[in-house]
């Protein structure tokens, strides 16, 4: 099964890095975040990826063209230039990098890959959100409901402290962490049937606007509730937090041991 990695945006909130590199190439723990996302899928045997590039797409092409050198040790005969790889580990990935246009929005990037997908079920995700999503359970859930689309619903990470107020505005609790209750947001990690392409009609529109709205109104969008780790990389603060987490073994986005099945429909 093919997985589309949306990797063409400007990443303006990380401008200190994205002025010179595309956002998916921002490093988390010494590796580009896009490779970290691919690790999640690879854990569940998914190895065929289509990178939907745009902004500074050539850097993505060069990265994957040279990945066999980056990911392995090498021996070089400096006189002849002969090169021998000494594999460290086998990723087994097959990656296509497609320039879908520097100004194309996310729905248009997917639409431009229609011929690459064909008539098969496919997955889509952003290249900057990490979570210990059980891809096998996500696919099982999608196949069980028979709709065109599944989106992974996640609970946003706490960014601000929490106050709970009572009668006469008396503060009952003041904590560093937000109590997330039942707040759910789009965490990416989509599964789509080819019929979704009929909802992608405008290159200038984000996937989250009319395509998702129309799928919802037609009763064709289901949500897979993920109750484990998830964290975006939208800001410098996010990048720094993920860099610290990357030092853990395994990092939380690859720690699937504590995740219990949590696939439920959200209406």
Give the model confidence (pLDDT) of 154-206 as tens digits.
988 766 556 666 666 666 566 655 555 567 889 999 999 999 999 999 899 99
Structural domain of 238: 2-254
Q: What is the mean pLDDT of the chain?
A: 87
Helix (H, G, I), strand (E, B) or coil at 103: coil
**What integer is the mean pLDDT of 35-59?**
95
**What integer is the mean pLDDT of 222-241?**
92
Task: Evaluate whether residue 167 is within a structural domain.
Answer: yes
**What integer is the mean pLDDT of 92-109?**
94
Task: Evaluate whether residue 262 is within a structural domain.
Answer: no
pLDDT computed for residue 159 by the predictor = 64
The more confident residue out of 8 and 131 is: 131
Task: Evaluate whether residue 267 is within a structural domain.
Answer: no
Instruction: Return the CATH number at 164.
Output: 3.90.550.10
**What integer is the mean pLDDT of 225-250?**
93
pLDDT computed for residue 182 by the predictor = 63
Task: Evaluate whether residue 266 is within a structural domain.
Answer: no
| Range in 32-36, 92-96, 114-118, 161-165 the model is least confident about | 161-165
**What integer is the mean pLDDT of 143-151?**
96
The more confident residue out of 167 and 33 is: 33
Per-residue pLDDT of 51-72, as tens digits, reads: 999 999 999 999 999 888 887 8
- Note whether 178 and 163 are within 8 A (CB): no
**Spatial CB neighbours of 28, under 8 Å, sequence gap ≥ 6:** 36, 130, 233, 239, 242, 243, 246
pLDDT computed for residue 94 by the predictor = 95
Whether 89 has a pLDDT exceeding 50, the answer reads yes
Question: Percent of the chain scored above 70 by pLDDT?
Answer: 83
- Note whether 132 and 259 are within 8 A (CB): yes
Task: Evaluate whether residue 263 is within a structural domain.
Answer: no
Task: Evaluate whether residue 157 is within a structural domain.
Answer: yes
Helix (H, G, I), strand (E, B) or coil at 115: helix
Task: Evaluate whether residue 265 is within a structural domain.
Answer: no
Helix (H, G, I), strand (E, B) or coil at 35: helix
pLDDT computed for residue 184 by the predictor = 86
Distance of CA 233 to the CA centre of its chain: 10
Task: Please tell me the distance from the alpha carbon of residue 178 to that of residue 160, in angstroms, as a whole number.
Answer: 7
Task: Evaluate whether residue 114 is within a structural domain.
Answer: yes
pLDDT computed for residue 134 by the predictor = 97
| Overall number of domains in the chain | 1
pLDDT computed for residue 12 by the predictor = 65
pLDDT class for 267, splitting at 50, 70, 90?
very low
């Amino acid at each position: 099964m093919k997985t589309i990695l949306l990797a063409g945006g400007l990443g303006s909130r990380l401008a200190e890095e994205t002025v010179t590199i595309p956002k998916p190439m921002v490093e988390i723990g010494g590796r580009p975040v896009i490779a970290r996302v691919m690790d999640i899928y690879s854990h569940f045997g998914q190895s065929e990826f289509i990178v939907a590039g745009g902004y500074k797409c050539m850097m993505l092409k060069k990265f994957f063209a040279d990945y066999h050198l980056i990911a392995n040790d090498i021996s070089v005969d400096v006189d002849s230039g002969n090169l021998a790889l000494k594999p460290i580990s086998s990723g087994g990935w097959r990656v296509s990098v497609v320039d879908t246009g520097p100004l194309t929005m996310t729905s248009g990037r997917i639409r431009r890959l229609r011929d690459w997908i064909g008539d098969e079920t496919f997955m889509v995700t952003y290249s900057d959100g990490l979570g210990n999503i059980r891809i096998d359970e996500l696919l099982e859930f999608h196949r069980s409901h028979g709709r065109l689309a599944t989106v992974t619903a996640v609970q946003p990470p706490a960014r601000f402290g929490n106050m709970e107020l009572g009668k006469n505005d008396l503060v009952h609790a003041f904590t560093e962490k937000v109590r997330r209750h039942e707040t759910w947001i789009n965490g990416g990690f989509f599964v789509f049937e080819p019929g979704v392409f009929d909802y992608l009609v405008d290159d200038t529109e984000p996937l989250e606007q009319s395509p998702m709205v129309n799928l919802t109104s037609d009763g064709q969008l289901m949500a897979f509730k993920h109750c484990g780790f998830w964290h975006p990389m939208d800001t410098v603060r996010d990048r720094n937090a993920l860099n610290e987490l990357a030092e853990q073994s395994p990092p939380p986005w690859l720690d699937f041991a504590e995740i219990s099945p949590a696939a439920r429909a959200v209406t």
